[in-house]
Structure 1
């Protein structure tokens, strides 16, 4: 390793001792550790180990043979929404974990779990230890409905509900009440369809997934037989994709309840729609207006559960039961559209409609939150202002994923977005905007700080111990894994 003059000058200040005195062994070892940690390649840290974080790391490591990347994660386990957001009956989507694991196994990549940036270590401290800091911590805050009664028992955010059945530790005690026969989901995106599918799926199918056992137990006692998904706009603006819609249409033991009047005339304009929207609308129109085949008609006729889409409706208030102790329904404003296509805006008509239900789930999106006063943030949009991932006005600071562009898109969208940010970093290294020869000690310095603060990071090999335990527990009950829900139990497995 070649050290620059500036690096030697900096180290010589640290090495000064009285003439004739030997450097103590402990200090000598510390100096050796410091010297070994200094690299000619860029040292980059990524905050967040979800898809955005791992895709950013993957691209950097692939295209810069000297780069070293450290990934910080507040939980003891990696993979973010791939582990805690993807529906348990979509295991194929989780296969991306195999790619992320290959990245984490790189000798130039270090995973540090159980470290909360902004609490255990500051962004400013990371900036001092790395050439570049990438913020990829996602959108953690649920959006509020802002209507009377949303605080009542029986009303849940989609984020909390998904976290509950997927084993997110903070949601493990949610214990939703599924004793009513009707649920209303406010929103018409893929998350809304995921929740509807979980609520209505035969329990025997769910038992074969990595859904938590506590969720299986609760869902096996569920009385939910009908799920309405409510949207402010029309069928032409639904946010779910055709794959999720097709799954709902063919869900065993369940039939769609689609009002034909919502779809009349749409078949005349489908030819002018972009291809994905065209295919999706054609499937909606076919399901609502065409008579099903004999086999499907028999299945729907025998189904005990149903789901439907309610359009041009916006929530006004959660209606309480007589004793006002829990939700008993929801009041909706009937809307109409002004404008066309994706730009159409829903405006109230003055009419209202009430739906009786004991379970209300708000699936109207998530928000990112500011992580530090040192990082610019746009609270209205819930994103960090940036240009192709470069944080505006902050040298060496970058962002990727939902905190960069907002909580939209699927995993492949996040991949492209993260590659863009990673490419910006690589270009800044090549142009000299980032100087990899400037001495930075990376995780060595940060781990020393964490040690002083009593924080014990979880390594990727530690995570693999947790992984093995979860898989072993799952095998005993015929599941791919049984997730550990308590972070303290996770830490006891690896930090004893």
Structure 2
């Protein structure tokens, strides 16, 4: 009986190195890696040893015979990935640290940020005995996205924070919290203090949607809601007011949108004991939200959410999940392969958003409606939002509108910025200036490197690529020589 990878998969590939029979794919050297929503165990090859389950940092791997009813589908999902793929017995060429790893001179690295990308970079750096690391974070609580971006009811995924916690007390690590790099200390000063600087600052602003009314009171970023229910220090307790709110419309259909819809329609008592903020729990207990509409600009075949997040919605009790869209939407969903995210909606009822019916009474089943083919053209209202207008003529009465069309990074004075990507300018993790010349001693990882794409585990390979580049640079020029060249560059303004 094989094991299966379930909803919590973080994709960081920790399980791969311990599998004795190479039955977990895609691996980092395979084309699919980074393009699937999770890793998958091949039931034809799995020998049921359980090593992968022990290694998984987020408890995403379970013996098939022990899958609860609401996750039994993952046995089939894992098997389905291999339906048209041959058994892969060959191992990739192993990768080893540089031969000189034990003879490298001492070097000091500043890592700006304490989220997953920062921690994966630190893990890779701490393999070098001569490394010293100083974390900087503008918040006084470490963890970044793992602490303030993961929904409180995703307890498995939130365990990634426990996986990193011991690193913050490592004898070669120093923590400097409550320090805003670029404000409290300049980027130039940081480069003077440390041999190398790695930026892991993520993406903390929203993509802009330029439609009339988007800035009306009652229209806000879903990021604000996430910070509100996770207790982010930047989001006040009264940032979200659910008083009198019956219908919420979310523009966008990525995983953030689904998290928001799930929390807003959750039974508050199911959130007791999680890391949800006390003020959010109190507000949800008094909430009158009856329906959440998730508006997707395109059809179900282009769904931006993952199948596992959608699966978590359709298996909940007490919350109806329905779909709405142009003619043929339901048929399109039924024709999707199992691996397609929206295939989890194949048993969902079809409703008409034009009638503006809201689930009538609090205490009855709440409802989440996936509205496909709904391109927003405006948010209506006088003193406050009262609806969302869509390109097809549909108007959905709404008491609260959340924008969830993606995040992007923001520029920081002193760092070269790629406005198109919303990330720090870099080549393979090495920061480059506006003329594509390398900036000595400065590196970047995570969303700040590649733009706001990918989940927590995708940062592992990304961060290791950057650290490999840093170690190559140490071999080419010792830290003392690098810092001399860096100071010349900073003084000359180049």
Q: Same fold (TM over 0.5)?
A: yes
CA contact (8 A) 2:301 2:336 kept: no
Q: Out of 323, 326, 331, which is 1:264 matched to?
A: 331
Q: Out of 421, 446, 457, which is 1:381 matched to?
A: 421
Superposed CA RMSD? 2.1
Q: Find the counterpart in structure 1 of residue 405 from structure 2.
A: 364
Q: Does 1:408 align with 2:473?
A: no
Counterpart CA distance in 2 for 1:186 and 1:224 is 17
Q: Out of 193, 197, 209, which is 1:129 matched to?
A: 193
Counterpart CA distance in 1 for 2:196 and 2:370 is 46
Q: Find the counterpart in structure 2 of residue 102 from structure 1.
A: 166
Q: Does 1:231 align with 2:296?
A: yes
The count of residues paired between Structure 1 and Structure 2 equals 361
Q: Find the counterpart in structure 1 of residue 388 from structure 2.
A: 330
The Cα shift of 1:276 comes to 3.7
CA contact (8 A) 2:118 2:200 kept: yes
Q: Find the counterpart in structure 2 of residue 187 from structure 1.
A: 252
Q: Find the counterpart in structure 1 of residue 33 from structure 2.
A: none
Counterpart CA distance in 1 for 2:166 and 2:256 is 28
Q: Find the counterpart in structure 2 of residue 47 from structure 1.
A: 112
Flag the 1:114–1:440 CA change in 2: closer, same or farther, 3 A. Answer: farther
- Secondary structure of 2:125's match? helix
Flag the 1:136–1:331 CA change in 2: closer, same or farther, 3 A. Answer: same
Counterpart CA distance in 1 for 2:227 and 2:125 is 30
Flag the 1:99–1:220 CA change in 2: closer, same or farther, 3 A. Answer: same
CA contact (8 A) 2:336 2:342 kept: no
CA contact (8 A) 1:389 1:404 kept: yes
Q: Find the counterpart in structure 2 of residue 9 from structure 1.
A: none
Q: Which structure has more RCO (C-alpha within 8 Å, separation ≥ 6)?
A: 1
Q: Find the counterpart in structure 1 of residue 152 from structure 2.
A: 88
CA contact (8 A) 2:336 2:343 kept: no
- Secondary structure of 2:418's match? coil
Flag the 1:79–1:269 CA change in 2: closer, same or farther, 3 A. Answer: closer
CA contact (8 A) 2:242 2:288 kept: no
CA contact (8 A) 1:60 1:423 kept: no
Q: Find the counterpart in structure 2 of residue 436 from structure 1.
A: 479
CA contact (8 A) 1:129 1:440 kept: no
- Secondary structure of 1:170's match? coil
Counterpart CA distance in 2 for 1:177 and 1:269 is 36
Counterpart CA distance in 1 for 2:209 and 2:270 is 32
Flag the 1:138–1:332 CA change in 2: closer, same or farther, 3 A. Answer: same
TM-score by length of 2: 0.70
Computing the radius of gyration from Cα coordinates, the structure with the larger value is: 1
Counterpart CA distance in 1 for 2:211 and 2:476 is 51
Q: Find the counterpart in structure 2 of residue 315 from structure 1.
A: 376
